[in-house]
Structure 1
Amino acid sequence: MPTEEYVERVLSVVESIPPGAVLAYGDVAEYLGDGGPRQVGWVMSHYGGSVPWWRVVRADGRPADCHAGEAVRRLRAEGTPFREPSGRVDMPAARWDGAPRTLAQGLS
């Protein structure tokens, strides 16, 4: 089980992902320099309800299956690019680079 500090760090990264962008579970771990996709997934499944959880997807661009398609609805509403007809997020276009975005760029 991850430490409370690790949980807080994961949630902080997820809160930083701007609308219209995503990170894969492994990207979050890489950003932190700690853990791996499974640890991040565990944190998200147990504590992720208070952050924009839909912005964390599988490495192949598949959004979370849970919540009856809520992740896809939220991602599309934010303008996240998808690859059709697969219904997967276009990872090269949508992956967040970790840089803060400004209102001038159309995102907060």
Structure 2
Amino acid sequence: MNDKFNFFESVYEVVKLIPKGRVSSYGAIANYLGAKGSARMVGWAMNAAHQYADVPAHRVVNRQGLLTGKHHFATPTAMQEMLEQEGIRIKDEQIEDFDKLFWNPAVELL
């Protein structure tokens, strides 16, 4: 197995722990995995996550709560629709109350 595959698998395991109705960021997940500065790699993992039904990739957004990964879903509105089904409000492609809904694995998984 290569390192990229192992990293992606580690990302998926963390993303599976994000509770319904909460969101995390690419950078927070990278930091938790000891790969500070690798937010982009987490994004690549999320882009590839759609082949796994049990990885809630829609719960991972950028550090400002923007739905930057929306283009990697089946439709441009699918990510927002999935988040709204979990009770998360979106305005102008950004999560409202992001700071209250933010799930930081470094804090939550102590």
Distance in 2 of aligned mates of 1:76 and 1:6: 29
Percentage identity across paired residues of the two chains:
31
Match of 2:94 in 1: 88
How far has the Cα of 1:3 moved from its partner? 2.1
Amino acid at match of 2:78: E
Match of 1:104 in 2: none
Match of 1:68 in 2: 76
Q: Please provide the CA RMSD for this pair.
A: 1.9
Instruction: Name the stretch that deviates more: 5-14 or 63-72.
Output: 63-72
TM-score between both structures, scaled by the size of structure 1: 0.78
Instruction: Name the stretch that deviates more: 4-13 or 64-73.
Output: 64-73
Amino acid at match of 1:4: F
How far has the Cα of 1:81 moved from its partner? 4.3
Count of residues paired in the alignment: 97
Distance in 2 of aligned mates of 1:13 and 1:41: 13
TM-score between both structures, scaled by the size of structure 2: 0.77
Distance in 2 of aligned mates of 1:31 and 1:20: 20
Distance in 2 of aligned mates of 1:6 and 1:27: 14
Amino acid at match of 1:95: F
Distance in 1 of aligned mates of 2:94 and 2:102: 12
How far has the Cα of 1:80 moved from its partner? 2.1
The ranges of structure 1 where at least 4 consecutive aligned residues each deviate by more than 3 angstroms after the TM superposition are none
